[in-house]
Each structure stands twice: as structure tokens, then as C-alpha cells.
Chains A and B, each alone.
Chain A
């Protein structure tokens, strides 16, 4: 069965420090991959997505993610974290090219930013 794992439930970083949030998936073929962010009291906002091509994808708010097929990973990175980045981050997977319309979400990683 397809699954998505975000190994870190909580992460705390200092403002200005770099950030990497991990995401691993279990799926036989190359899936479509997504990162969403949920700010307190808000819905989920799409940060970035990977379908094919260049394995390093750029998103909004200065985030990027790299697809590594050999590691079944799609880690989210940001070079310098801002206090406003404190939120919950979700990795999600869809079976690529099959247009099933369904996403499988990881459990989420809560990011705390220290001043």
C-alpha cells in the first residue's frame, strides 16, 4: 500500500537558520509529490509540487524540494527561516500519471521558529 512518512513530528530552528523537513514515500512507480503548509487557523496552502523533469523544484515563500528516486524521498528545504514560517507542513503523494484524484498525506511536521 502507498504510504507517506514524515519522520519528524516537531522541529525547532532558530530564525535565520537553514531548514530541512524530511518526507519518505512508499510507492512502486514515480508518484506526484506535494508539500503543503498549514498556518495556525488556516487551511492548507500548496508550497510546491513535483511531477517530472528537474528533480529540484522551487516553490513559494523561498522553499525548494528535491526528489531523490533512489531514496524515495522528497525533502523540503529553506536556506534561511523566518518567524512567519512557523506552521505545520504536510507532504503528500498521488499515484503519478493515473489521475486518480486522490492524495495520501503524511502525518505532518510542526515547525517552531526561535527568535
Chain B
């Protein structure tokens, strides 16, 4: 089984709808991240969480919110989706005990907002 899983893998929705993307991990890592990937822009950090009670905004948090329900679960919500949020979304994890910042990624969720 994959260490970092994301659901759904693909989602098509309409402008104005609320969408939740979910991420679960079995790696036992304390840190979790949400990224957005757009062609030619690399990965941009949306939100990150260093533990259940520690959530921080990344570079592009406007229009997004997150919830860390447990150490292993980190959800990303789009409160009112808009077309320019069409992108590939990745969840990642890392272990603060390693002191190396190595991140491990899920398979991604492709979101299309019509």
C-alpha cells in the first residue's frame, strides 16, 4: 500500500462549489503539506502543518483552507471553487526527527473547475 494517499484522484466541479481534497499517510510523519502544481510554475506551497495544532499558510493560501484531523490526515478545502484553481494538487509529508526536510509525496489530485 502507498505511504501517502490522496482522494479523489480526479475531480471535476463547477464554479462556486465547495470541494475537499483528502490526504492520509501511514509513514508516521508529523509534518504534512499541500502543494499546487501548474505547468511551468513548479510546486507552490498552499498550507503546511507541523503537528495537529500547528497549521501555517504557505505562498498561495488565498481561497483555500485546511484541517488536520489527526496526525495522519490533512484535508484541503476550496470554499468556493473558481476556474483558476484548476490544477494538480499534491500532499506531502516529512519527519521533523530526521532534520533533513525530505518530503514524500502522494500521487496527486487533478482538479478541474468549470
Contacts and interface: CB of A to CB of B under 8 A. Distances in A.
A101 B50 contact: yes
B64 interface: no
A90 B43 contact: yes
A18 B51 CA distance: 43
A32 B105 contact: no
Interface string B81-112: 00000000010101010011111111110000
Nearest to B50: A101
A28 interface: no
A105 B101 CA distance: 13
B59 to A, nearest CB: 10
A101 B96 contact: yes
Contact of B102 (A46, A97, A102, A105): A46
Contact of A46 (B40, B90, B104, B107): B104
Contacts of A101: 31, 33, 48, 50, 94, 96, 101
B41 interface: yes
> Does more than half of chain A's interface fall in helix, strand or loop, or is it mixed?
loop
B99 A105 contact: no
B90 A32 contact: no
Contacts of B48: 101-102
Given A101-B48, A105-B43, A106-B42, A43 B100 contact: no
Nearest to A31: B101
A43 B90 contact: yes
Contacts of B96: 99, 101
Contact of B101 (A36, A44, A94, A106): A94
Interface of B: 4, 31, 33, 40-43, 45, 48, 50, 90, 92, 94, 96, 99-108
Given A90-B43, A97-B99, A107-B40, 13 more contacts: A32-B100, A32-B101, A43-B105, A43-B107, A44-B92, A46-B102, A51-B100, A94-B101, A99-B99, A99-B101, A103-B103, A106-B42, A108-B40
